[in-house]
């Protein structure tokens, strides 16, 4: 979304001198030391300015109460392997889920395989198929840059709205753990590459009072989502409290941790380049009914259509969970993200992601609006702007 679309935007009062103040260089506090341990270096300020918004995008996460669909069915003479419905965990679980789908796709000995969809799951599944020696063609109406996957937050979130309590099969927690560990291990191969397609960043959770749980149902018919993070605590860093003397933020409680993030523009470019160089093919094609798949030459098809499966497969079990991002101009010096007053900020190389996430994970549940809400975007940015304005006044 261009600047003109946002209409009469003005820099929040008091932020006009943001770049000229000491805040633009860094956020500072008392030069204190705890024993012999030095304080962390000052944090560069996030330039939360409305005039830095470049676009606003909306993504519909494909949530299924029972978790991702990974079964196999016959459509005419074709074998269809499903691989969709990962909620807010599509990128995070993509490699592990792809391995499951690929094993099923190749179980009958076929070497020619079609993949439907070119989002996170489609492109990753196609890559794993090529590595396994299959001849692969991706059929998709849109290239990755135009899919809902390209509008994802880009943070490692393997159990984000992945399923509902009481709705999953008995073995699903173990299945999820396997997907999570496989994906996490594979992502390490992309850390350190040119362009930083995948990297680690520090994260701060801020609250003016005691931290509240995000997993409580806030109404609207949303279920209680499963929580599996404790199963993989050995690979996921914990957030720990920041001592008052080391707290650079003007709030009572701060926790610091670290997480993987996907700079989706570069990561997608790496995946696409690797797939094509390995001999994979992409054909632009739209399917309106499952029966149209029988016209494909490949005997095995992997269905990775994400939220699109709701229409293509008439799968009413796919429930939209709306998420909106306001994209701000990148700041190369930023290497940390934060969460404050229900707003998440992630400094990616392709833009700083501001997202209103609500009081609980039920935020956006059942909402299929894909039109940007400019007031929601403005509120998210102003919330963080006010935080840094308080910081400036405190120094």
| DSSP state letters, 88-133 | T-HHHHHHHHHHHHHHHHHTT---EEEEE--SHHHHHHHHHHHHTT
Q: Which segments within the chain are labelled E, that is strand?
A: 33-34, 37-38, 53-63, 72-75, 78-82, 112-116, 135-140, 198-207, 240-241, 253-262, 281-284, 300-303, 319-328, 336-340, 343-348, 351-356
Neighbouring residues of 346: CB distance < 8 A, sequence distance ≥ 6: 153, 154, 155, 201, 261, 337, 352, 353, 355
Nearest in space to 287 (alpha carbons), one of 272, 271, 301 = 301
Q: What are phi and psi of 303, to 5 degrees?
A: -90, 105
- For residues 207 and 258, the answer to whether their CB atoms sit within 8 Å is no
Q: Which CATH architecture has domain 62-203+263-320?
A: 3-Layer(aba) Sandwich (3.40)
Q: Alpha-carbon distance 181 to 210, whole Å?
A: 32
Q: Alpha-carbon distance 144 to 159, whole Å?
A: 23
Q: Specify the domain boundaries for CATH 3.40.50.720 within the chain.
A: 62-203+263-320
Residue 5 confidence (pLDDT): 35
Q: Alpha-carbon distance 99 to 233, whole Å?
A: 22
Q: List per-residue pLDDT tens for the chain, 395 residues long.
A: 433 333 323 333 333 333 333 333 444 443 334 444 445 568 999 999 999 999 999 999 999 999 999 999 999 999 999 999 999 999 999 999 999 999 999 999 999 999 999 999 999 999 999 999 999 999 999 888 889 999 999 999 999 999 999 999 999 999 999 999 999 999 999 999 999 999 999 999 999 987 666 555 555 689 999 999 999 999 988 999 999 999 999 999 999 999 999 999 999 999 999 999 999 999 999 999 999 999 999 999 999 999 999 999 999 999 999 999 999 999 999 999 999 999 999 999 999 999 999 999 999 999 999 999 999 999 999 999 999 999 888 77
Q: Which long-range contacts (CB under 8 A, 24 or more apart) does 187-195 make?
A: 187/95, 187/156, 187/260, 190/267, 190/270, 191/260, 193/270, 195/263, 195/266, 195/269, 195/270, 195/349
User: What is the model's pTM?
Assistant: 0.87
């Amino acid at each position: 979304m261009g600047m003109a679309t946002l209409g009469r935007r003005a820099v929040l009062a008091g932020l006009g001198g943001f770049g000229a103040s000491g805040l633009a260089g860094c956020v500072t506090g008392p030069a204190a030391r705890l024993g012999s341990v030095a304080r962390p270096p000052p944090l560069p300020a996030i330039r939360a300015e409305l005039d830095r918004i470049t676009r606003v995008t909306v993504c519909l996460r494909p949530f299924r109460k029972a978790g991702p669909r990974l079964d196999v069915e016959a459509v005419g003479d074709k074998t269809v392997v499903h691989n969709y419905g990962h909620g807010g965990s599509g990128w995070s679980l993509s490699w592990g889920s792809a391995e499951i789908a690929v094993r099923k796709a190749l179980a009958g000995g076929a070497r020619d395989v079609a993949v439907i969809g070119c989002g996170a799951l489609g492109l990753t599944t196609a890559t794993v198929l090529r590595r396994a020696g299959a001849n692969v063609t991706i059929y998709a109406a849109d290239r990755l840059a135009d899919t809902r996957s390209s509008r994802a937050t880009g943070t490692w979130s393997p159990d984000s709205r992945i399923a509902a309590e009481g709705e999953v099969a008995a073995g699903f927690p173990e299945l999820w753990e396997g997907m999570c560990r496989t994906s996490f291990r594979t992502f390490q191969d992309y850390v350190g590459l040119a362009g930083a397609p995948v990297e680690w960043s520090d994260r701060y959770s801020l609250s003016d009072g005691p931290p509240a749980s995000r997993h409580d149902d806030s109404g609207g018919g949303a279920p209680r989502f499963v929580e599996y993070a404790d199963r993989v605590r050995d690979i996921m860093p914990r957030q720990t409290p920041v001592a008052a003397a080391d707290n650079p933020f003007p709030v009572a409680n701060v926790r610091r941790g670290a997480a993987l993030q996907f700079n989706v523009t570069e990561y997608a470019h790496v995946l696409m380049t690797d797939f094509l160089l390995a001999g994979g093919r992409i054909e632009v094609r739209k399917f309106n009914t499952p029966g149209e798949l029988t016209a494909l030459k490949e005997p095995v098809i992997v269905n990775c259509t994400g939220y699109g499966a709701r229409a293509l497969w008439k799968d009413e079990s796919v429930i939209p969970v709306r998420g909106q991002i306001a994209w701000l101009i990148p700041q190369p010096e930023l290497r940390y993200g934060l969460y404050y007053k229900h707003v998440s900020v992630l400094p990616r190389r392709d833009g700083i992601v501001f997202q209103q996430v609500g009081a609980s994970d039920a935020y956006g549940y059942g909402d299929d609006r894909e039109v940007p809400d400019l007031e929601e975007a403005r509120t998210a940015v102003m919330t963080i702007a006010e935080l840094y304005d308080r910081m400036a006044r405190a120094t």
